[in-house]
Structure 1
Amino acid sequence: MSRPSGAGSTARPRGRARPDPRGTVRAGLVASLAVMAASWGVGWLPMTPSSAFSGSTLLVPLRTGLPGVLACAVLLALGTFGLVRAWLRLGRALDGRWEEHAGLPARAAWLWSAPLMLALPIFSRDVFSYLQQGRLLSLGLDPYQSGVSRLSGWFMQGADSLWAESPSPYGPLFLLFAEGIWHVTGGQVELSVTAFRLLALAGLGLCVWALPRLAAPGGRCGPWAVWVVAANPLFLLYMVAGAHNDALMVGLLLAGLALMVRAPRRRVTALWGIVLVALSVAIKPLTALLLPFVGLLLPAGAAPFRPGAPRMRRTRRLGPWITTATAALAVLTVLGALSGLWFGWVRAMTTSGDAAFPYAPAGLVGLALGWAVDAVSPLPARQVAGWFYTALTAVTLAFTAGLALRRRAPEPLAASAAVLVVAILAAPIVQPWYLLWVLPLLACAPRPLPGPADHPRWLGWVTAAAVLVLAAVGVVDQLSVAQWLPLWLVRAVAAAAALGAAAWIVRGDPATAAVFPRGRGAPPDETIEPREPMSAPARPADTVQE
């Protein structure tokens, strides 16, 4: 991406005309509608009487015949990459004039999400496992002790066998939500999926609110952060269409951080920020790893959240850490009591049960190690793999502690992103949407030095490349195809359509080809920026605060 001008710059682009911003939003809406229609043929739909559409005469030709399934697979690929193209063109159209169209990225995110609310679950079927875990809790069973296989008809209800005997990896607040949805909807599939999607929309709303407020104090461009995170096709497809609880987890985390950095001298507001972060832990406990860095944002002893701010000494971190731990513990204790699960999630965090995802390097190594040891000793493969995963969890905890206890306090957002990267690499399960845990933190991390509002250019094109790859993974890997149809053929056709669309984005469309270093489209628009004197920081960024 070309370098953006600062807020309020009078820069004038030259060269090839940019895409029309509002035209790209309309194109994205058309692509989202195509994804919605395609999901009716290849989205996840359990064959259960609780589904209003499982026997629908409207969907039968799309889901049971090879021509209909192939057409929907192609439409899903074209719609997905049409959404990617619209997102990239919107970024090109606004490059250098983000503040002029500050509300457009958020408007695009909401507009592109609307049709996906009517889609069948795509790119994942975890939402059906969410519902069964709520059912477990409603029956008085502990989801941290029992897998969904304890329930009659769990597989026909759409739950993935990956979680059949695995403990729930979710926090008590989300399990309370899942139990409430089970009671309110009676387990009816479409109503339940809609309810979980409303939680995802709440997460989207929190992200849209928090990102500009978190980015601005650190000298980052808020509208760009909204574009790269909330309007991102991965967020819309995996979080909204896929109804993942990660959207709410990330939204609560960002909102809590935004409250803390926007009110550096208001302790009550900062404490509310900790409460929101603790609620994100209660959705998905992984964010508990970030609490030491959240504490560095407290008014008591924390350096201002700005480029070039001095760093805090170790002796001044104890008070903020105690405050953060006490507030978070109080929130989690209340939620544990309300759910009756208390702190069962702590044990669940250290194990994946039988679950290991093929794309996770750590998961593959653990399985291979377990099989190898099982072949030459009486130790079972599952137990050996579990030991290996526990050791990797210890490595993640050690890395987190070492980073938090450095002599010079790390920058909180960048340190949080680093911890999440290590946790993802050490996990036995890695999913494509895990990128969205790290991306908002990197997009909002403060600049090293003061200056006009800017964004990290490298993050833009790395994210664009990752979106292309991970969108293709979802299009090819996550297809619901009847057992009597050749899955390999449907996937091959979907892959061909996805690769063709991706090739056009990278090399055919001048506006999107310019995003990628090796694109053969037109060169990036050149932007002439007036030279502005940069104020020197009062002290170097790595100065220790006395």
Structure 2
Amino acid sequence: MRANPVSRNALRARSFLGQWPPTAWLIGGEEAAASHTARQGLLASIMIMLGSWGVGWLAMTPQSLLALNPVLLPLRTTTAGVVTCTVLLVLGALLLLRSWLRLSQRVGSWSARTTPLMRRTLLMWATPLMFTLPIFSRDVYSYLAQGRVLHAGLNPYEHGVSELPGWFMEGADGLWAESPSPYGPLFLVLAQLVWFLSGGIPEVAIAMFRALSLLGIALMLYCIPRLAKAFGSEPSWALWLCLLNPLTLLVFIPAAHNDALMIGLMLAGTLAGLRRKRLLCIVLLVAAIAVKPIAMVVLPFILLLPLRDTAALRDRFREWAIGGTAAAVLLIAGGAALGIGLGWIASALGAGAAVLQAAPVGLLGIGIGASAEALTGVEAARVTEIIYTLARAAAGGVLAWMLLRRAVGNPVLWAGYGLTLVVLTSSIIQPWYLLWLLPFYAVVHVYRGRVLVLVTTVFTVMVLLSMVGQLSVAQWIDAAAIHTIAVTVVTLYLIYVVFLDPNTTDFFDMRRRSQRWNAQHGWQRLRGLTPPRTSWAAEDIYEKDTT
């Protein structure tokens, strides 16, 4: 604890407010009383909900139920309303972040008794977020627009949402106007069904897409503790890291991203593979691929889980042949239902080119392309695409090396390594890509030290940047002033949480060594780890009963 006046005064204020009934239910309590922190997170979610009503994304179609709502209009059309909602939204996001951090301290120690607490807290924090207007991202409107494109008999992998009139008023981001869909055929069919059942009413459609996200969250809530028990990690810690962090909550519920469904299906397929239910494993993994094709990266790793021993390369090839054939049949059938065969995979993986190529590889490609054009006259776009292709080829080569090594590590952990590699070599990295990776690490090991500080910092930065940058402000209101207010609030609270708050500064301390733990090996320093000497086998499973 840092001995500074702000910290001391914060502790005195907490002690004072904790004595009075009106504030004691929210502030104070014993350090091990996690209920206080859970209630603070609930308050944060309510603040986010109320703030979203003024600066969240709202479709302006004639079908909208809320576009002219008399309760929302003053919040969205007056400077006072927008400022109030902006402050509520940003403070709510910061308080939710702090509540997540504090929750890990107040549980005392991670154990079986804290798993039900994580489930109850998730329910508390998620419920108000179900009633927000879309924040963090407005991709949910693009889902609806692409479902409409498919419903109109057009191919979403060839036609952008601008092919149909009224697309902009429906809330879709302009970058999808001419861009092909990056989603798989299963999700597009679901989006088409949402369009049909909702009658094009955006608020009804958002609720249905959130229901799909909740299905993904439910699958994660079921699978993560069972996988963690199987591999010797700590289920309650894995739930805290993967499902209760503010990035997960905001991306999966208010923004209703389909990543929740993809991750849930991937983990359900992983659990089925662990239980040696091969066909179910393949079906679930293929369903994940048919939501977002990036899930195909984990397929060859998870197909190894039913093997009793992975030492023999011929056994691996047998599983890949059987699983790959079954997956191909299912994927071809899915593509045939849309009339495009397997062409949707290349289209979907190559979609999103309109998004800023802001990842390290993306910036490197842009820089080299611009330099080459200036020096040689070669078109920059051509050079940039070569850089991106080389990065993808390098990632593919490393993945092949991992799979064909004499000694293969834990397939779940190595699936996480594979996904991490693909993300890092991508020309685009969105904030929610981190959520793809976390479960594959968390169900195998508990982490602490610099590596956890890095994850915490990334969560903090991504959440706050998105809160500040994704505000829907009416044209007649000074957007620059609103963003300045948001940035000011974020900066002041962030300085407090990172440097001054006596209870949270430790979460950003980079002096501790990076370590990981599971029940089989105890704590290990990450720097001292070496590749496995023996290939993974079913006998390495810590706890066989995962029912």
CA deviation vs aligned residue, 1:436-463 (integer Å, no higher than 9, x gap) = 0111111112x5xxxxxxx222454333
Match of 1:159 among 157, 166, 172: 172
Give the Cα–Cα distance (whole angstroms) in 2 for the partners of residues 242 and 533 of structure 1: 39
State the match for 1:498 in structure 2.
Answer: 490
| Gap runs ≥5 in structure 1 | 1-15, 304-310, 448-454, 524-530, 535-539
1:209 matched to which residue of 2?
222
Which residue number in structure 2 is paired with residue 395 of structure 1? Answer: 394
Are the equivalent residues in 2 in contact too, given 1:274–1:294 (CA < 8 A)?
Answer: no
Once the two structures are TM-superposed, the CA of residue 532 in structure 1 deviates from its matched residue by: 12
Which secondary structure state, in structure 2, belongs to the residue aligned with residue 543 of structure 1? Answer: coil
Superposed displacement of residue 374, structure 1: 5.5
Matches within 5 A, 1:428-467: 428-445=427-444, 455-458=446-449, 459-467=451-459
Instruction: Tell me: CA distance 1:339–1:113, structure 2 relative to 1, closer, same or farther (3 Å).
Output: farther
Corresponding position of 2:525? none
Contact 1:350/1:390 (<8 A) preserved: no
Q: Structure 1 counterpart of 2:498, which letter? A: V
Paired with 2:71 and 2:225, the residues of 1 have a C-alpha distance of: 43
Equivalent in 276, 281, 286 of residue 278 of structure 1: 286
Matches within 5 A, 1:83-94: 83-94=96-107
172-181 vs 467-476, which deviates more? 467-476
Paired AA for residue 196 in structure 1: F
1:292 corresponds in structure 2 to 300
| Cα deviation, residue 112, structure 1 | 1.1
Judging changes above 3 Å, is the alpha-carbon distance between structure 1 residues 350 and 391 closer, same or farther for their aligned structure 2 residues? farther
Match among 48, 70, 82 for residue 35 of structure 1: 48
CA 1:383–1:156: 2 relative to 1, 3 Å: farther
Q: Is 2:193 aligned against 1:180?
A: yes
Indicate the SS of the match to 1:442: helix
Q: Which residue of 2 aligns with 1:232?
A: 245
The structural deviation recorded for 1:378 is 7.4
SS of 1:206's equivalent in the other structure is: helix
Say yes or no: does 1:477 pair with 2:469: yes
Superposed, which structure 2 residues align to 1:232-311 within 5 Å?
232-261=245-274, 263=275, 266=276, 269-299=277-307, 302-303=308-309
2-side partners of 1:364 and 1:481: how far apart? Answer: 30
C-alpha distance after superposition, 1:171-209 (max 9, x if no partner): 110001000001111211101111111101111101100
Task: Determine helix, strand or coil for the equivalent of 1:103.
Answer: helix
Query: Separation in 2 of the partners of 1:352 and 1:335?
Result: 19
Contact 1:19/1:89 (8 A) holds in 2:
no
Structure 2 residue 143 is matched with structure 1 residue 130: yes
Is residue 35–residue 116 contact of structure 1 (8 Å, CA) maintained in 2? yes
- The amino acid that maps onto 1:287 is A
Q: Is the 8 A contact 2:182 2:352 kept in 1?
A: no
Aligned residues of 1:19 and 1:90 also touching (Cα < 8 A): no
Count of aligned positions: 494
- RMSD of aligned alpha carbons: 2.6
Which one-letter code corresponds to 2:235 in the other structure?
Answer: G
Task: Report if the CA contact (8 A) 2:184-2:348 is conserved.
Answer: no
What is the alpha-carbon distance in structure 2 between the residues aligned to residue 25 and residue 142 of structure 1? 46
Q: Which of 528, 531, 534 lines up with 1:543 in the alignment?
A: 534
Counterpart CA distance in 1 for 2:351 and 2:371 is 19
Q: Once the 2 structures are TM-superposed, how far is the Cα of residue 363 of structure 1 from its aligned partner?
A: 2.8
Q: Does 1:144 align with 2:157?
A: yes
Q: What amino acid sits opposite 2:65 in the alignment?
A: A
| SS at 2:298 equivalent | helix
Aligned amino acid, residue 262 of structure 2: M
Matched to 1:259, the amino acid is A
What aligned pairs does 1:315-326 form with structure 2 within 5 A after superposition?
315-326=314-325
Q: CA deviation at 1:349?
A: 4.1
Which residue pairs with 1:81 in the alignment?
94
* 1:140–1:506 CA distance, 2 compared to 1 (3 A): same
After TM superposition, give the deviation of residue 541 of structure 1 in Å.
Answer: 5.0
Amino acid at match of 2:228: A
- Is 1:468 the equivalent of 2:484? no
**Superposition deviation, residue 487 in structure 1:** 2.2
Q: Which amino acid aligns with 1:233?
A: P
Q: Which stretch shows the higher mean deviation, 232-241 or 63-72?
A: 63-72
- SS of the residue aligned with 1:241? coil
- Cα separation, 1, equivalents of 2:397 and 2:176: 28
SS of aligned partner of 1:146: coil
Matched residue of 1:432: which SS? coil
Q: In 2, Cα distance between the equivalents of 1:110 and 1:544?
A: 40
Contact in 1 for aligned 2:335/2:341 (Cα 8 Å) = yes
After superposition, residues 8-47 of structure 1 pair within 5 angstroms as: 18-47=31-60
Q: How far 1:165 sits from its partner (Å)? A: 1.6
Residues 183 and 62 from structure 1, CA distance in 2 versus in 1: closer, same or farther, beyond 3 angstroms?
Answer: same
> Judging changes above 3 Å, is the alpha-carbon distance between structure 1 residues 367 and 255 closer, same or farther for their aligned structure 2 residues?
same
- Distance in 2 separating the partners of 1:377 and 1:158: 42
Q: Which runs of 5+ in 2 are unaligned?
A: 1-28, 513-518, 523-530, 538-547
Q: Distance in 2 between matches of 1:147 and 1:288?
A: 24
- SS of the residue corresponding to residue 280 of structure 2 reads helix
More divergent stretch after superposition (428-437 vs 373-382): 373-382
Matching residue's letter, 1:292: P
Indicate how the Cα distance of structure 1 residues 544 and 28 shifts in structure 2: closer, same or farther if over 3 A, else same. Answer: closer
State the match for 2:11 in structure 1. none
Distance between the aligned counterparts of 2:357 and 2:494, measured in 1?
24
Partner SS, residue 318 of structure 2: helix
